[in-house]
C-alpha cells in the first residue's frame, strides 16, 4: 500500500508537472531505487578532483519503428575523460498514478566507444498493451573504464502512445 491505497489501484498515466521532487522509482520487482547522483560523503577531495565527467547521451522515449513498443537508447561522449571506452546501459520507466516511475525495460550493458550512432548505443524496449498516451523516462548510466567518473543518471522524458 502507498498513501492508503492498494498498490494495484495505481495505473499508468501522464505525470503531473512538478512531480519530480516527490516521485519514487521502483525496479521490476517493486523495490525502491536510489536514482540520486549523490557522492559518497567519505570520498576525499583528492578523489573528487580526479573524477572525469563523461557525457551521457540518450534520446527521448518513443514508439519503436518496428512495432507497438516503447523504446529508448543510450550512448556516451568522452567529455573530459581520458579513456575511450565506457560501459553503458539505459532503462525505461513508465509513470503511475501513485507517483511512481516503474522500471519496464533495461538494455544490456555494452562497452562502447564515444559517439553514438546506430551501432554504438544501447537499446531498451518494452511491448505495449495499449496505445494510450503515457509518460515515460529514459535514464542512461555511463561508467568510464579505468577512470573514476561522476555518477549521474541523466534522463529524457516524453509522452508516448504506449501503455504497459
Q: How many CA atoms lie within 13 A of 151 on its CB side?
A: 9
- The percentage of the chain sitting over the pLDDT mark of 90, rounded to a whole number, equals 70
Does 43 fall in a domain?
no
Does 106 fall in a domain?
yes
Q: What is the pLDDT of residues 60-108, one digit of tens each?
A: 999 998 889 999 999 999 999 999 999 999 999 999 999 999 999 999 9
Q: How is residue 27 written as a grid cell? A: 525496479
Domain that holds residue 155: 7-15+24-34+51-163
Domain of residue 114, CATH code: 2.60.40.2550
Split into its structural domains, the chain has a count of 1
Does 41 fall in a domain?
no
Sign of CA dihedral 146, 36, 8, 17: negative
DSSP structure class, residue 84: S
Q: What is the pLDDT of residue 40?
A: 39
Q: How many CA atoms lie within 13 A of 47 on its CB side?
A: 9
Does 73 fall in a domain?
yes
CA gyration radius for the chain?
17
Does 74 fall in a domain?
yes
Closest CA to 86 of 36, 40, 120, 35: 120
- pTM: predicted TM-score of the whole model, two decimal places: 0.85
Amino acid at each position: 500500500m502507498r498513501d492508503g491505497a492498494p498498490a494495484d489501484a495505481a495505473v499508468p498515466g501522464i505525470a503531473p508537472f512538478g512531480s519530480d521532487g516527490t516521485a519514487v522509482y521502483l525496479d521490476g520487482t517493486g523495490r525502491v531505487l536510489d536514482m540520486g547522483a549523490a557522492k559518497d560523503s567519505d570520498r576525499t577531495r583528492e578523489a573528487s578532483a580526479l573524477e572525469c565527467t563523461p557525457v551521457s547521451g540518450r534520446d527521448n522515449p518513443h514508439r519503436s519503428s518496428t512495432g507497438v513498443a516503447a523504446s529508448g537508447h543510450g550512448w556516451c561522449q568522452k567529455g573530459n575523460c581520458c579513456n575511450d571506452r565506457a560501459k553503458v546501459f539505459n532503462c525505461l520507466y513508465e509513470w503511475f498514478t501513485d507517483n511512481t516511475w516503474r522500471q519496464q525495460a533495461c538494455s544490456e550493458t555494452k562497452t562502447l566507444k564515444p559517439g553514438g550512432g546506430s551501432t554504438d548505443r544501447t537499446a531498451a524496449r518494452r511491448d505495449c498493451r495499449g496505445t494510450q498516451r503515457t509518460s515515460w523516462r529514459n535514464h542512461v548510466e555511463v561508467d568510464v573504464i579505468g577512470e573514476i567518473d561522476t555518477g549521474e543518471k541523466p534522463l529524457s522524458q516524453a509522452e508516448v502512445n504506449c501503455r504497459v
